[in-house]
Structure 1
């Protein structure tokens, strides 16, 4: 039953909750902010960056699939490493690798094509290399972050605990793209201005790594059993809590649908619609002209999306304490499913794009509840491995989604790719509604 005391029911309350949590969760939240800022101010623009470096739409799809492979492979060993050596050293290693990845992206735009053994290596190849490193903290550290929050939170308050840390983290998702918009506007060439963005990402990654290493208190970390290779993976798959299976199936279908089109959101704005923003803003009786390129305007759209996310996550987590986790998760899944068809059929105007991306922000309402539903049934010292196992299965199935979307984008049409994605997402949402189970602490 929900606690009768005043709890996190809005973004400001969620921030207060972060600072009221244990020191290790607070430091983790600060590190989340730094790495999320660096990753979000860069990764969402990478498909456009790749196109300027000569990549085709299908190559962009392959890049998305490569990211899916990393997302599938990294969380399990990351969770196992975290459970074995503790979160502090694991997250420090992952942070260093991510910062190095940002640096590789920064160098990629300055490298021309060259030939090795008769094979021409294009500059956009380095974007793939950089992703292998840059996604380390996000994917390797996934199990560690889940486990830390689980250790610090009562079972009936898991959604609120995740809402607090996620709200803190998602502020970076708001600030990052907006900061990227400002930096992109400093030079007329996107290839040049985006390097400013990447340089700032390197700085934030370095700060995040140092903060979490020196300030994180690992004295209360729980250390699980040592990793026993493939047999350990098979055992963890067999022992996955039964309650997670319907969630896993529905979530996988929804994420497969999103994966088909996610990397193309920026191209819809910058190339398919080519929508920028031209307006005049009056402040203190003085008028200012605003003229944003489509790439810069995309940063504004991401900021709007995250602003809505910040406004709804904590209240949705509070609602989950009364109605359960399942209904809140289902709402998030439904928005994931509908968004692609809404976006591709929207009028090609700045106002319509702002409205569509504001709608997209509602999908984050279910995120804290979704995380609570994943890690809730896990044993106290196995939160990392349970999370890693879940994401290993989900993300393995999702691997080919972006390549399929890229193929449809290039050889059929963007409309077909986005419509098919919406249909698959709707099936996943329906499956979860019918078969999904509630976490016992929220019944």
Structure 2
């Protein structure tokens, strides 16, 4: 059997956490170093990023500014990967990794001292239109206070994340057999998502000791320390013999050609996924605001004591990710029997209905815990979703197909948070209900037009 086939067999031979640890430790040194760095940066980012909208609120920003922050983040996610590849071409992978790591560390520090950068006030905007006989105000009716340091920090903080999306997909594509793609992605996702579990718990622990503004600054300082440590470690330990990552990018013409050559099976998935992610993007940055300010739910836990709403939000994120880690591998294995489409549809459906459930939830700690546990099920479809994206691609073209797919989706989703923010300023309930409606459209489109690919179920049929 080929090395690729052996690797694919290894992905499926062990189960659970022990199997994941064995697979990670068996990686080549450079890939292992990158995995450890990814864990460290993910830990820092998950400790901080979900709380930034709350931080903005404390600094005086309103719903419109928070929505603009979300849209700015979407824009960065859409445009960073290609410039990141160009930088890698020019200076080599090792130094690019170091540069991007330092950028993320600087981003955490800018957030730490965000108030030193001042604010900008966006004038109020309000236009009254008539819809079905009702007068509706479109826009916002009070100045939007924008903390400059928050936006500037985001420019740097997402630097490291811009590096390896397409490469990660391509590596898994080459390492496993087609019918085991979902399992392979589940293994890599489990490693990364472990940081997503630990990060919010660390944040919750800090916020249990300190009030939010002081506590979040402590969290940012810790995240910066993680980032600096990971940057130094990857610079000293990474020994790439051939700095070729990113050299396939040859300009805008390459992007257009990749979009035109995208497998036809992906087009219904891309359209549906874009609807679902646009819906989620409308309200994602407001989840922390809903829990900590709109519902203002804290909790008393045995041995821990009273948790403020800010600290409890970190616990809720950990609950969400714990469920994700528990179900990702079993569901990915199930997808080999039932196909990828039903599993992806499940994830899309959870994305779609969660906003309306959250905004209408009673101020109950138990109900919120159950809701965020339910939200964790959306990650059950993530490995299958990635397999469905890269599966139809020709061998060796996984990275290009992935890059094209995410470029289109991320560009379309860019304005979602700004739209959601303007709606939230007028009516939080309306914004979240609209998000769910848009998400449901995506789910229905996928159920009607979405396709599987044959190799995905060949083994379990």
Aligned to 2:323: 308
Alignment of 1:213 with 2:235, yes or no, is yes
Alignment of 1:201 with 2:216, yes or no, is no
Change (3 A) 1:98 1:147: farther
Q: How does 1:241-256 map to 2 (within 5 A)?
A: 241-256=263-278
Distance 1:404 1:123 in 2: 16
Distance 1:290 1:43 in 2: 26
Superposed displacement of residue 289, structure 1: 5.6
Distance 1:432 1:256 in 2: 15
Aligned to 1:284: none
Aligned to 1:17: 23
Change (3 A) 1:276 1:21: same
Aligned to 2:250: 228
The alignment's C-alpha RMSD in Å is: 2.8
Change (3 A) 1:203 1:332: same
Q: How does 1:284-363 map to 2 (within 5 A)?
A: 288=303, 290-363=305-378
The superposition leaves residues 52-95 of structure 1 with CA deviations (integer Å, 9 ceiling, x where unpaired) of 11111110001001111111112344456668987555433322
Distance 1:5 1:111 in 2: 48
Is the contact between residue 50 and residue 285 of structure 2 (CA under 8 Å) also seen in structure 1? yes
Q: TM-score, normalised by structure 2?
A: 0.86
Aligned to 1:54: 60
Aligned residue pair count = 430
Change (3 A) 1:431 1:25: farther
Unaligned runs of 5+ in 2: 122-142
Other structure's SS at 2:306 match:
strand
The superposition leaves residues 136-190 of structure 1 with CA deviations (integer Å, 9 ceiling, x where unpaired) of 22234322332333343333322222111111111111110110111122322x2
Aligned to 1:177: 200
Is the contact between residue 25 and residue 152 of structure 1 (CA under 8 Å) also seen in structure 2? no
Higher mean C-alpha displacement, 75-84 vs 29-38 = 75-84
- Specify which of 157, 160, 183 is matched with residue 160 of structure 1: 183
Distance 1:83 1:436 in 2: 36
Other structure's SS at 2:209 match:
coil
Unaligned runs of 5+ in 1: 282-287
Distance 1:390 1:64 in 2: 21
Distance 1:375 1:220 in 2: 25
- Specify which of 97, 100, 103 is matched with residue 103 of structure 2: 97
Higher mean C-alpha displacement, 139-148 vs 36-45 = 139-148
Is the contact between residue 79 and residue 388 of structure 1 (CA under 8 Å) also seen in structure 2? no
Aligned to 1:237: 259
Is the contact between residue 325 and residue 438 of structure 1 (CA under 8 Å) also seen in structure 2? yes
Is the contact between residue 8 and residue 164 of structure 1 (CA under 8 Å) also seen in structure 2? no
Aligned to 2:437: 423
Higher mean C-alpha displacement, 432-441 vs 45-54 = 432-441
Distance 1:246 1:434 in 2: 9
Distance 1:102 1:76 in 2: 23
Other structure's SS at 1:45 match:
helix
Alignment of 1:395 with 2:396, yes or no, is no
Other structure's SS at 1:291 match:
strand
Distance 1:428 1:12 in 2: 37
Other structure's SS at 1:54 match:
coil
Q: TM-score, normalised by structure 1?
A: 0.89
The superposition leaves residues 306-360 of structure 1 with CA deviations (integer Å, 9 ceiling, x where unpaired) of 1111101111121122222222111111111111111111111111111111111
Distance 1:324 1:81 in 2: 39
- Specify which of 145, 149, 153 is matched with residue 168 of structure 2: 145
Is the contact between residue 11 and residue 187 of structure 2 (CA under 8 Å) also seen in structure 1? no
Distance 1:327 1:11 in 2: 25
- Specify which of 384, 393, 398 is matched with residue 399 of structure 2: 384
Higher relative contact order (CA 8 A, sep 6+): 1
Is the contact between residue 177 and residue 303 of structure 1 (CA under 8 Å) also seen in structure 2? yes
Higher mean C-alpha displacement, 361-370 vs 69-78 = 69-78
Distance 1:403 1:427 in 2: 20
Is the contact between residue 79 and residue 384 of structure 1 (CA under 8 Å) also seen in structure 2? no
